[in-house]
Amino acid sequence: MLKSIGLASLLTAMTPIAQAFTLIENVSITDQTITIPINGYHDPIIIPSVPTFNDKEPGVVSISNVTASSFDVQFKEWSYLDGIHGEEYVSFLVVEKGRHHLEDGSVWEAGELTLGTGSKHQFFSESFAHAPHVFVSGQTQNDPDAYSLRVSSTSQQTFGISLNEQEAGNAHVEESIGYLAVYNKVNSGTTNDGTPFNLTQEAINEAGFQKLQGKLLLQEEQSRDSETSHLLEMVSILSMKNNLFAQDNTHYGKDTMSLRLSTSDTFTVVPGETSGQYGNIALIGTNGLTESSYSSSHNYAADSASGAFDGYNSSTKINADAAAKIKRGIWLTTLAQEHWLQVSFNSSAYITAFRVMLYSAASNPGMGVKDVTLQVSNDNVNFVDHESFSLVKSLDQTIELSQPAVGKFVRLKIHNTQGHNYRVIGELEYFGGFVNSGDVVTPPTEPEPSLGTTCASIKQQDPTASSGMYEVDPDGEGGVAPFYAHCEMTANGGGWTLVAHHKDGLDNIAVSLPLSLNELGVLPSEQWQAIQKNMTTGMMFVDEHGKVSQLNKDKLESANCVALSQTTDLSQPPVPYDIGMIWLQEGSGCSASGLDYSFISLSTKSTSRGDGYTRIGAALYQHNVKFDQWPYSSGAYSGAEQDTLYYYVK
């Protein structure tokens, strides 16, 4: 059993627990040491959650004096700072040392090792079926200086671990280090007392990655230099209730760092009522939702919107908390056009992911949805596109959002299917929480309008506008003179401007104004920069077979090797190694080698890796950062399935 307790209850007598897990939530800590009592343990390991980011001075959670009945904790700043630190909040997972097999099939192993400055490998007591998620924490503070722990090279049998002081620090004396390895074959499960947990991995740097609990980020210390930029690291994340435990498990950036959790400056998020295995917040009967809370653009006969939120995938009950099935337990429309399926919450929802399920009788003919856009609204009138996705043909898939969507009305807009005219969803689940009722939420709005006339503004002014050549003036009066551009007014909501038309195997890149679908080339530098600087949504790519890919603005602007803004001339794209690219994100180095890179190629033979790599002339790769929409059977690159690409900006 996992027992969840708050700090106040720790001050009273505690009863023994039947098994070796306790979750201690929301403890306030500062630089002053406090003692936390525990009970029912013989040899406990203490794993802290990611501390909050209230005081911006960097440091770590320091645990010491661990006994069977208590442990000490404080927030310890790096030695070059004054050591005085304001209030932070942190939770603790207390685990009895040993191997634990949970009723849901999960395996949890807690152990201990000793380590001073440097690194070593630690073997598990026995092998896991696959590499587990590993979380580590110091159990002692023998040396007065703060230290962080980094994990790497995790396998079924072992993991690497290193101990780091601040970069300008000295050697560190030996400390006792606790570890927790968690494995579940589907990366989610339930503890023996019914507490759900979820395991994920995310690529994170100092910019952070938004989770339900807040923005998880890497924070470097500055004892040796003032820069704090960090390469993306893969981070294992264990979510339990509203608590987030995380551990970096790569070592691409060498600077000493720690993990912090930055909560929203404008509102707080509460979990709300959750149901099912993964914490669905949209099941009918929970969070005040009734059959009238669901709507759709159209439905066939009795297969109304509420049938997609009743906990049944057709005749199969897939949510243990579900009540009665609604009609056939599905949503179905027979009209071959764009549709939407909506849930109206009673307060602003904070959506981090969604899950789409389908039964085989509908999947095999291709009735499952494919290209979709998540939309949000606060008034049920003005809906804003949040993010677009391309779903694979599957009976069950969960889609993580790049950034959480906030809105009282959440709508899934369906552009097409996997091949059939009918659109069917067996069950739709949403994950996340709700904005605290006392907090003010700024209503979602469309991106800032461009300075002048763009394809997007033309589409906004005239929703019936068709694709073709239009006169545009992206930077407005006083900038680049108005010019003609091709506007794609149908795909992904329309309003996209063609900036490049490229194919594999070219010897050079031609410049063309106007640029059309009928001739190869790129826009001149001035026109390209005017369009790129006024981008509000991102880039879209369409190949000669009509397959559509999409990458959002945030990803394009935050790349660590070649950000889109660094590409000032499409006819001479940056060549960070030996391939011409207009965007490149890479975990370590910028050579597009290994399996840690994603890029948009706009290269020629002279900037490609020999004739054998001419497919890289016009191609998209996504090993590291994933595209928001990806239509190719290869999960990593487009080159084998396309030869020509149209590059659009919105």
Q: If you search the block for the tokens 């001149």, which residue do you land on?
A: 524
Residue 4: inside a domain, yes or no?
no
Q: If you search the block for the tokens 């001075």, which residue do you land on?
A: 57
Q: What local confidence, expressed as pLDDT, does residue 176 receive? A: 97
607 and 531 within one domain: yes
Q: What local confidence, expressed as pLDDT, does residue 412 receive? A: 96
Mean pLDDT lowest for which of 427-436, 530-539, 580-589? Answer: 580-589
User: Has this prediction a pTM greater than 0.75?
Assistant: no
Residue 308: inside a domain, yes or no?
yes
Give 31-54 pLDDT, tens digit per residue: 999 999 998 899 999 999 999 998
Q: What local confidence, expressed as pLDDT, does residue 605 receive? A: 84
Please say which residue of 209, 230, 262 terminates a domain. 262
Residue 308: both structure tokens together: 């997609």
Residue 15: inside a domain, yes or no?
no
The C-alpha angle with vertex 95 and arms to 89 and 100, in degrees rounded to 5, equals 140
- Cα–Cα distance measured from residue 562 to residue 309, given in angstroms and rounded to the nearest whole number: 43
465 and 426 within one domain: no
Please say which residue of 262, 291, 318 terminates a domain. 262
Residue type, 505: G
Residue 217: inside a domain, yes or no?
yes
Residue 445: both structure tokens together: 């709005």
288 and 174 within one domain: no
- HEC states along 350-388? EEEEEEEECCHHHHCCCCEECEEEEEEECCCCCCEEEEE
Q: Which domain holds residue 107?
A: 21-262
150 and 61 within one domain: yes
209 and 110 within one domain: yes
Percent of the chain at pLDDT > 90 equals 56
370 and 292 within one domain: yes
Average pLDDT over residues 270-289: 91
SS3 105: coil
Would you report the helix, strand and coil content of the chain in percent, each value rounded to 5?
10, 45, 50
The C-alpha angle with vertex 43 and arms to 37 and 45, in degrees rounded to 5, equals 70
Average pLDDT over residues 463-482: 89
Residue 445: inside a domain, yes or no?
no
422 and 474 within one domain: no
310 and 212 within one domain: no
- Cα–Cα distance measured from residue 105 to residue 119, given in angstroms and rounded to the nearest whole number: 32
Question: Is residue 88 within 8 Å of 58, Cβ to Cβ?
Answer: no
Closest by CA to 164, choosing from 72, 78, 90, is 78
Residue 136: inside a domain, yes or no?
yes
DSSP string, 587-638: SSSSS--TT-EEEEEE--GGGSSSGGGGGGGEEEEESSSPPSB---SSSSBS
- Cα–Cα distance measured from residue 111 to residue 177, given in angstroms and rounded to the nearest whole number: 8
Q: If you search the block for the tokens 């602007």, which residue do you land on?
A: 557
Please say which residue of 235, 262, 289 terminates a domain. 262
Q: What local confidence, expressed as pLDDT, does residue 345 receive? A: 95
632 and 593 within one domain: yes
- Which H or E element spans position 525? helix 525-533
pLDDT category of residue 254 using cuts at 50, 70 and 90:
confident
412 and 279 within one domain: yes
Give 559-611 pLDDT, tens digit per residue: 888 889 889 999 999 888 888 899 998 877 788 877 788 999 999 888 777 65
Average pLDDT over residues 281-299: 94
For residue 520, pLDDT beyond 90: yes
Residue 608: inside a domain, yes or no?
yes
- Cα–Cα distance measured from residue 70 to residue 152, given in angstroms and rounded to the nearest whole number: 30
36, 90, 267 from 28: Cα distances, Å = 11, 7, 20
- Cα–Cα distance measured from residue 283 to residue 288, given in angstroms and rounded to the nearest whole number: 10
Domain count, the chain: 3
Closest by CA to 600, choosing from 577, 617, 578, is 617
Q: What is the CATH number of the domain that holds 393?
A: 2.60.120.260
Strands (E), 223-290: 233-240, 243-248, 257-262, 269-270
- Cα–Cα distance measured from residue 350 to residue 263, given in angstroms and rounded to the nearest whole number: 13
Residue 643: inside a domain, yes or no?
yes
Bigger pLDDT: 209 or 399?
A: 399
251 and 111 within one domain: yes
The answer for residues whose C-beta is within 8 angstroms of residue 495's C-beta and 6 or more apart is 454, 455, 456, 457, 458, 459, 460, 487, 488, 489, 537, 650
Average pLDDT over residues 297-312: 92
Average pLDDT over residues 337-354: 91
509 and 366 within one domain: no
